[in-house]
Amino acid sequence: AQSVTQPDIHITVSEGASLELRCNYSYGATPYLFWYVQSPGQGLQLLLKYFSGDTLVQGIKGFEAEFKRSQSSFNLRKPSVHWSDAAEYFCAVGSYNNNDMRFGAGTRLTVKP
Amino acid sequence: EAQVTQNPRYLITVTGKKLTVTCSQNMNHEYMSWYRQDPGLGLRQIYYSMNVEVTDKGDVPEGYKVSRKEKRNFPLILESPSPNQTSLYFCASRMDRGVHNEQFFGPGTRLTVL
């Protein structure tokens, strides 16, 4: 069965510092991988996705993620965090043959001034 | 503007009082689903619908019902709510069942069952 693990429940970074949010997945077939952001009081917004090809994918708001098959990971990165990036971030996995997506438990990001 | 809307956004109710949370999308999407979000558990799918009159259970369907009589609407029904259904609920839609299609989420409904 497919599953997603986000090891960090809560991360605090200073504004302007770099960010990396971890995501590990377990899936038998070729996974489709996603990162979503949920701002307070809002629904989820897609940041980026990976299906195939270049393992480094660029998303919106200056985020990027790297797919590492050998490590079953899809970590999200941003070189310089802004206060407006404070939110909850969800990693998700799906596949072409399965209509559902599995979500991780989420990582809450706090940005210090 | 392309969007998924949910109503109400906030609801406090009592055990056993039937309620309906509405969901509507204006993108002509075939696939719609309901999720609940609980701390430490992420989003879990309750029900989904691949098209009009086609619905199926997700991972946590107990205590919920849905219907899909029109393409744009996908209401979530709690016939006899219980406190363990206190949660944040999201409706979502995408073009079709393909996961590669972008999934759009509503703003959420925060439900408290006393």
What are B102-114's pLDDT values in tens digits?
899 999 999 999 9
**Whether B2 contacts B104, CB under 8 Å:** yes
What pLDDT, in 10s, does the model give residues A80-111?
Answer: 999 999 999 999 998 776 677 899 999 999 99
Which residue in chain A is spatially nearest to B97 when comparing CA positions? A99
Please tell me the predicted confidence (pLDDT) of residue A27.
Answer: 81
Separation in Å, CA of B100 to nearest CA in chain A: 7
Give the residue from B44, B96, B41 showing the smallest Cα distance to A102.
B44
Point out the residue among A42, A43, A105 whose CB comes nearest to the CB of B41.
Answer: A105
Check CB contact of B74 with chain A, cutoff 8 Å. no
> Would you mind telling me the total number of residues written for chain A in this entry?
113
The distance from CA A16 to its chain's CA centroid, rounded to whole angstroms, is: 19
The answer to whether the CB atoms of A41 and B98 lie below 8 A apart is: no
